[in-house]
Amino acid sequence: MATLKEDPSRLNLGSKIRFACRPGVKCFNTCCRDVNIFLTPNDVYRMKQRLNMASTEFLEKYTLMFISKATGLPVVLLKMRDDNKECHFLTSQGCSIYSDRPWSCRMYPFSLNTEDETYSIIADQETCLGFKEDREWYLEDWLADQGVLYQREIDRLFNDALGRLEFPKDKILNSQISRMVYMAAYDLDAFRRFVFESRFLKIFNIAPPIIEKVKTDDEELARLAFLWLKFGMSDKNALEIRPEVLQQQGDLVQNPE
């Protein structure tokens, strides 16, 4: 049996490819319909900024959420239109949010095999006519051109927050925790309300300049959201609990009455 490294269908950054997806290719726009596009936290962040919408409104209008049976983590899918199953952002000229399109859209027709950092072609090369174009690239250059080699800090922090979880051992069984992960990872505006309208700031010791910033700055808010996730999921040192809260907890443990 061929090992991953010997598998000739696996590409690496130095592989040469012949591919171009552009207006004028006969199949142009056909793959933006009836397709499952999973969104990362950064995808939601970029798209809602691009559309000048609050995250709660964006998620309600353009996405579907479900809880993964394997991990208990929330998964967010881009909704297609009800009438013709096309993506809401598709126009006859192509994607109307092209520079902020999701990571999966940038990657297509390739996919990343995270276990060995190789890439595979996931489209049928007979019907994806981009493979019949003359343009030649090293895969690395094509990926850079699509903007996929640059993973924004938001997704890196999210992966870091959940990075220590091992499935199925750490599968989330409590649906309330799954909802909290969803809010912190995808619904930043709801997380902002949570920070300012719950006991969050009474429990965690957050520096005043950060508190001021997260009122309006989404990137700073995402950093705080992922630290909170990390605190809850894998690392109690990710956020500092206020000394008076720790004192109260100690008193309760020693004197539960």
Which residues contribute to the site for ligand SF4 (CB under 6 A)? Answer: 21, 25, 27-32, 37, 87, 89-90, 95, 97, 101-102, 105, 108-109, 123, 128-130
Instruction: Say which DSSP state 129 is in.
Output: G
Select 37 or 225, whichever has its Cβ closest to ligand SF4.
Answer: 37
CB 227 within 8 A of CB 214: no
Phi, then psi, of 161 in degrees rounded to 5: -65, -35
The distance of closest approach from Cβ of residue 101 to ligand SF4 in the complex, given in angstroms and rounded to an integer, is 4
Question: Which positions ≥6 away from 119 have C-beta within 8 Å?
Answer: 10, 11, 12, 15, 110, 111, 112, 113, 139
d(Cα 21, Cα 74) in Å, to the nearest integer?
32
The distance of closest approach from Cβ of residue 176 to ligand SF4 in the complex, given in angstroms and rounded to an integer, is 31
d(Cα 205, Cα 165) in Å, to the nearest integer?
25
The distance of closest approach from Cβ of residue 105 to ligand SF4 in the complex, given in angstroms and rounded to an integer, is 3
Cα end-to-end span (Å), the chain: 65
Phi, then psi, of 235 in degrees rounded to 5: -150, 105
Select 30 or 56, whichever has its Cβ closest to ligand SF4.
Answer: 30
The distance of closest approach from Cβ of residue 35 to ligand SF4 in the complex, given in angstroms and rounded to an integer, is 6
Measured over the CA atoms of residue 160, residue 161, residue 162 and residue 163, the dihedral's sign is positive
Parallel, antiparallel, or unpaired for β 74-78 and 94-95?
Answer: unpaired
Select 31 or 67, whichever has its Cβ closest to ligand SF4.
Answer: 31
Angle (CA) 100 104 105, round 5°: 55
The distance of closest approach from Cβ of residue 7 to ligand SF4 in the complex, given in angstroms and rounded to an integer, is 23
Select 27 or 64, whichever has its Cβ closest to ligand SF4.
Answer: 27
The distance of closest approach from Cβ of residue 91 to ligand SF4 in the complex, given in angstroms and rounded to an integer, is 8
The distance of closest approach from Cβ of residue 136 to ligand SF4 in the complex, given in angstroms and rounded to an integer, is 15
Instruction: Report how many helices (DSSP H) and strands (DSSP E) the chain contains, helices first.
Output: 11, 8
Select 122 or 149, whichever has its Cβ closest to ligand SF4.
Answer: 122
Select 109 or 147, whichever has its Cβ closest to ligand SF4.
Answer: 109
Select 44 or 128, whichever has its Cβ closest to ligand SF4.
Answer: 128
